[in-house]
Amino acid sequence: MHEPNPIDVRAQASDEPVFRPIGVRPWEQEHPDAPRPDDARFDQTLLDEGDQRNVLDRYRYWTVEAIKADLDERGRHPFEVAIENWTHDFNIGSMVRTANAFTANRVHIVGPHKWNRKGALMTELYQHVVNHATIQECVDDWHERIAQEQRNAETECIASKRSCKLARSTLNKPTRN
């Protein structure tokens, strides 16, 4: 039998708990003097049972949909991440997790829809993840969305009756295929 690691021995001898509680307890226990929230963003089950998720404190007790909508409203960064899933789903979870940490606008996964979500640590719930069968399908999706954004910018420019030179010059640039 081998000797136990000295760090493990000291950690076990300390007064620190072995399992640190993560998250918050039920609302009534956590906020005994505060009224129960009636905001639609709050998840009634989480209010009743507590929230053990790894989320920012401002999102405690919120539904997944409410968190995702708030991230969208606050403004995601204008970049997107594309990942090709061809033979193994190695690192897709960590890529999704990193994209979420930097509030990427969207994550595109090209290839088989199935991938191991353990590495994402549930962050895929708060991220816009789009699956594409092929690289061409992903590129076509980008072209379609960019064209729609350009049409929206042109419409907004015309509606506001401001100079549209910049918008028009952007619209007339050729796109690569």
Residue whose C-alpha is closest to residue 111's, from 95, 135, 92: 135
Write out the two tokens for 117: 């979500």
| DSSP-based three-state secondary structure for 80 | strand
The predicted-structure confidence for 116-152, as pLDDT tens digits, reads as follows: 777 778 888 999 999 999 999 999 999 999 999 999 9
Q: Is 2 exposed, middle or buried (0-12, 13-18, 19+ CB in 10 A)?
A: exposed
What pTM was computed for the model? 0.70
**pLDDT tens digits for range 13-30:** 887 766 666 789 999 999
pLDDT given for residue 4 in this prediction: 81
Element (H, E) at 48: helix 44-49
Interval 83-125: pLDDT, tens? 998 766 768 888 999 999 999 999 999 988 777 777 778 888 9
Higher pLDDT, 33 or 175: 33
- Give me the domains of the chain, ranges plus CATH numbers: 23-64 (no CATH), 70-171 (3.40.1280.10)
